[in-house]
Structure 1
Amino acid sequence: MSQPAFFRRTYDETMTLMVEARNYLTYSERRERDRLGGMIGLRMSCEAMRVTSRLTQVMAWLMLQRAVQEGEIEVEDALRDECRLSGTEVCLDETFSGDETLPNHLRSLMDRSFRLYVRVARLEEMLVQRVLH
């Protein structure tokens, strides 16, 4: 069964962001954090973890939806509370989104991962409304 276009685009976007975030965190973030040091370095680490949390939550949700599309799991099972997108308290926190002391690349990842997480949360809510109500 082929995936709907919105799913393929969202999956590809998530995978691209995951690879970009991994590359940034592996090759750049540590040097920038060490160079900036202090509270900014700590904030960078926290925001990098937030980006990672958003992306892993979204990818887990997308993989579950793929299992639904492939007939491996029923849609009602995929929408149970324990299978839903989680981590909202952490993932929706934008406290430092406008902090210009953070490196531009990290702020870009923060913004794009936030918008992706919000979009997937809306998709999930639409599914819940359509299927469970």
Structure 2
Amino acid sequence: MAFVGSKMFNNLFASGMELVEETALYLDEDGKSAARTLPREAALAYAGLSMRLTTRLMQIASWLLVLRALRDGEMTAEEASQEKYRIGGNEGGALARNLTAGLPERMLALVEDTDTLYSRITRLDREIFSPEEAREVEGDAAGQLAALRSAFPG
């Protein structure tokens, strides 16, 4: 688990926690003001999206805190690898699909940043705790690329 002691992890931890704080501040201040001015349908979409965004960010923060505890010797690798600490990669992708009409640009940017970070952490979780699964996914992509190359040579 060399990753948890790396500069890459430190940077990921800092940027993840910064995104959590930035989003919380937005939702409590500017986002709350912006939501009051939205038409009913957009306000409902905003409320639902903000709940899902908050949930996803808490999953990210939890995962980062578990890895920090592992790095700091507060947890063993065996404890950290328990299923209850895994990031749930089965939520079905991006948060913002079909829900963006009329929503504040800042909210949409935070959603996009969260989706990007969540995807990255999902891949890292798989590589760290389920390397055989990560190789299978990697192998599937390599196989698909090979098929495309053979179908469209040159």
User: Residue 126 of structure 1: CA displacement?
Assistant: 0.1
Q: What is the correspondence of 1:83-102 to structure 2 with a 5 Å cutoff? A: 83-86=85-88, 88-89=90-91, 92-96=94-98, 99-102=100-103
Give me the whole-angstrom Cα distance separating, in 2, the residues matched to 1:67 and 1:131. 24
Among 64, 67, 70, the alignment partner of 1:68 is 70
User: Residue 76 of structure 1: CA displacement?
Assistant: 2.3
Aligned length: 131
Q: What is the correspondence of 1:1-133 to structure 2 with a 5 Å cutoff? A: 3-86=5-88, 88-89=90-91, 92-96=94-98, 99-130=100-131
Query: What is the RMSD computed on CA atoms of the aligned residues?
Result: 2.4
Instruction: Give the structure-2-normalised TM-score.
Output: 0.75
Secondary structure of 2:41's counterpart equals: helix
Give 2:64's aligned amino acid. L
Return closer, same or farther for 1:48/1:124 CA change in 2, 3 Å cut-off: same
Structure 1: which 5+ residue stretches go unaligned?
none
User: Residue 52 of structure 1: CA displacement?
Assistant: 1.2
Higher relative contact order (CA 8 A, sep 6+): 1
Q: Percent identity?
A: 25
Instruction: Give the structure-1-normalised TM-score.
Output: 0.85
